[in-house]
Amino acid sequence: MRSVNLRLLISIVALLALALAACADEPDEPEAPDEVDEVDEDEPVDDLGLAQEGVIVVGSDIDFPPFEFIEDGEIQGFDVDLMEEIAARLGLEVEWVDTGFDALISQLAADEFDALIAAMTITEERAETIAFSDPYFEATQALVVGPDSDITGVGDLAGMSVGAQDGTTGEAYAEENFTDSTITSFPSYPAAFGALEADQIDAVLADLPAAAEQEARSDLVVTEVIDTDEVYGIGVQQDNEALLAAINDTLAEIIADGTYADIYSTWFEGDVPPRFAD
């Protein structure tokens, strides 16, 4: 053993000598400034107001494909990949907490987690209670119906029952605009789509990416897209400016270096929206 190590050591010394000789031949280059201030990406960042060092506890409603869902026993989706990437770049592990969508904001405000990501639209009302990151996704609403439905769009909804998920922008839009319809709220979008498939309701209003995913997974059909001009944000506690800044800086990096585009194309077809393209 000892002789092998010795031989290895000799080889390394020889290689180092060669490398030094090569460097010596090169013209002097200006020395790079010391990067003492740079955060070491492998080190946990402990000034982000996190309850546990090195861990970011993230709340979500893990039942909203393709953003967050469990398949093959694994949590996956666009939001999951994005959040894991942000956390990794901050030297943090993600600990996921699954809860109901309509409980997310109050639970974040009550410090039950450090952040939330849940395909959550940034709204003024929500921003009274929590702080949102810069936008990370663009969405609209879409009306979904059964394969043999006579409903061709929102103009046909009078007297119909329309489903949506509790506490969502889809539910709020339906209540405000479909005043001649009965709005039924479900604890999750899969539950609403299930009721539509079972003919218990006539239509579902949901975010377009989730509606399109449902169309691909079943014989339900997206019959009209309603341009509500929504953007999603990651939520943090209102007083946690350090975490908000760290998330925003990292998100900007992820967009600029093309990682966002890679994650996007894992989950969605078509071009990355210009504001998220590198």
Q: Cβ contacts of residue 121 below 8 Å, gap of 6+?
A: 139, 169, 207, 230, 231, 232, 233
Helices (H) then strands (E): counts for the chain = 8, 12
Q: What token pair was written down for 183? A: 């709005």
Could you tell me which stretch among 5-13, 19-27, 86-94, 113-121 binds ligand GLN (CB under 6 A)? 113-121
Q: Does 264 bind ligand GLN (CB under 6 A)?
A: no
Q: What token pair was written down for 89? A: 């770049």
Q: Does 132 bind ligand GLN (CB under 6 A)?
A: no
Q: What residue number has its CB nearest to ligand GLN?
A: 168
Say if CB 62 and CB 75 are below 8 A apart: yes
Q: How far is the CB of 256 from ligand GLN (least distance, A)?
A: 25
76, HSE (Cβ side, Cα atoms, 13 Å): 9
Q: How far is the CB of 118 from ligand GLN (least distance, A)?
A: 5
Of 166-185, binders to ligand GLN (CB under 6 A) are: 168-169
Q: How far is the CB of 115 from ligand GLN (least distance, A)?
A: 15
Q: C-alpha angle 130/82/258, rounded to 5°?
A: 125
Q: Does 276 bind ligand GLN (CB under 6 A)?
A: no
* Spatial separation of the C-alpha atoms in residues 246 and 195, rounded to whole Å: 41
Residue 164's φ and ψ, nearest 5 degrees, are: -155, 170
Binding mask 46-85 for ligand GLN (x = CB under 6 A): ---------------x--x---------------------
Q: Does 101 bind ligand GLN (CB under 6 A)?
A: yes
- Candidate list 78, 96, 99, 121; residue touching ligand GLN; CB under 6 A: 121
Of 192-231, binders to ligand GLN (CB under 6 A) are: 207
Q: DSSP character for 99?
A: -
Residues that bind ligand GLN (CB under 6 A): 61, 64, 101, 118-121, 165, 168-169, 189, 207
